[in-house]
């Protein structure tokens, strides 16, 4: 069930992936998840328009160090700009480029990007085809539909026909955001409609959830999202890889985040991550209060040593 997978010649050690998570899946976090067993990790979603403008903050999201294999996620709705991004130096290091066609955030949707493309199939097809012409491996992550209209089967076929080498299906409608049980039948329909690998996403918080998702959909793999923010060791639990103490993981992540992004960012970001990692712990509310009053990475590290 959990085994190596090839995506158009790209070998991944296993089929349990880390989802692209805006604001979270920076390089130190991805590196930690790969250490714990993730078979493939994705950058935060990156604006193709931002890349075209040479935005330095956008480029920072694409730092990928020594990780292998490398996957980035992009978003946009202009085929020419999207292709140019795929051909750019910024995306040159990546083995796979994923197009976001599932983001439900209003500001993204209002721009005609993310899940808005589920309502404009001709444009979605043009975007995928243009990106494929870059010569890069292109995958697509999408939701099962919008406003009650479920189109997973149709959209899966569109992606494959336009040249995508993999799809990831989030088993919820846009309006559900992250609530409710994923629609296994829709993911299964997408899987049955295409011959390229299909990765299932949504509602996976344990090994049992991952097994149920694979069993009920026939998917070729699973993608872990919010669960990894709460407990990055979910990859160990699903795959049986070597466990690592949470304190060691946290301090390594803190040190690497500070080295890459500076003291201020590391303090704010790692306070947030520590708060996620306390989920379910006794006294979590008080730990969170102390964490968010920490003013330096040294204070965050000291609290982590108490907590973890």
CATH number for 112? 3.20.20.70
Residue 200: which of 256, 251, 141 has the closest Cα?
141
Whether 206 and 288 share a structural domain: no
Whether the per-residue pLDDT at 257 is higher than 80: the answer is: yes
Helix (H, G, I), strand (E, B) or coil at 248: helix
Model pLDDT, residue 304? 95
The secondary structure of 225-239 as a DSSP string is -HHHHH-TTHHHHHH
Model pLDDT, residue 255? 98
pTM for the whole structure: 0.96
- Strand 71-75 and strand 221-224: the pairing is unpaired
Q: What is the pLDDT of residues 165-213, one digit of tens each?
A: 999 999 999 999 998 999 999 999 999 999 999 999 999 999 999 999 9
Choice among 64, 103, 159, 267 that is catalytic: 103
Q: What is the pLDDT of residues 33-75, one digit of tens each?
A: 999 999 999 999 999 998 988 778 887 899 998 899 999 999 9
Whether 126 and 33 share a structural domain: yes
Q: What is the pLDDT of residues 235-245, one digit of tens each?
A: 999 999 999 99
Give the confidence band of 280 by pLDDT, cuts at 50, 70, 90.
Answer: confident
Whether 147 and 34 share a structural domain: yes
What sign does the dihedral 265-299-24-87 (CA atoms) show? positive
Whether 149 and 263 share a structural domain: no
Domain of 69? 5-239
- Among the candidates 222, 239, 256, a domain finishes at 239
User: CA-CA distance, 171 to 29, in Å (whole number)?
Assistant: 25
| Average per-residue pLDDT for the chain | 96
Catalytic-residue membership of 64: no
């Amino acid at each position: 069930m959990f085994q190596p997978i090839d995506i158009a010649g790209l070998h991944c050690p296993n089929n349990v992936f880390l989802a692209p998570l805006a604001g979270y899946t920076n390089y130190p976090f991805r590196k930690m998840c790969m250490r714990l067993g993730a078979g493939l990790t994705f950058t935060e979603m990156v604006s193709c328009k931002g890349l075209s403008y040479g935005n330095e903050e956008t480029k920072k999201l694409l730092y990928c160090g020594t990780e292998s294999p490398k996957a980035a996620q992009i978003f946009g709705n202009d085929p020419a700009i999207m292709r140019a991004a795929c051909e750019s130096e910024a995306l040159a290091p990546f083995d796979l480029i994923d197009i976001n066609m599932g983001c439900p955030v209003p500001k993204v949707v209002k721009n005609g990007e993310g899940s808005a493309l589920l309502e404009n199939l001709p444009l979605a097809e043009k975007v995928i085809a243009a990106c494929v012409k870059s010569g890069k491996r292109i995958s697509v992550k999408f939701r099962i539909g919008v406003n009650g209209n479920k189109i997973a089967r149709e959209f899966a076929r569109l992606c494959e026909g336009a040249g995508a080498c993999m799809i990831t299906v989030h088993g919820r409608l846009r309006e559900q955001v992250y609530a409710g049980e994923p629609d296994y039948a829709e993911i299964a329909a997408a899987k049955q409609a295409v011959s390229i690998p299909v990765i299932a996403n949504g509602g996976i918080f344990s090994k049992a959830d991952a097994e149920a998702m694979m069993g009920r959909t026939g998917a070729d793999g699973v993608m872990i999202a919010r669960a990894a923010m709460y407990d990055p060791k979910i990859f160990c639990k699903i795959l049986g890889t070597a466990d690592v103490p949470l304190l060691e993981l946290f301090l390594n992540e803190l040190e690497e985040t500070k080295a890459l992004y500076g003291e201020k960012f590391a303090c704010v970001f790692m306070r947030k991550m520590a708060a996620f990692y306390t989920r379910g712990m006794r006294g979590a509310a008080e730990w969170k209060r102390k964490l968010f009053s920490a003013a330096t990475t040294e204070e965050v590290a000291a609290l982590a040593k108490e907590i973890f």
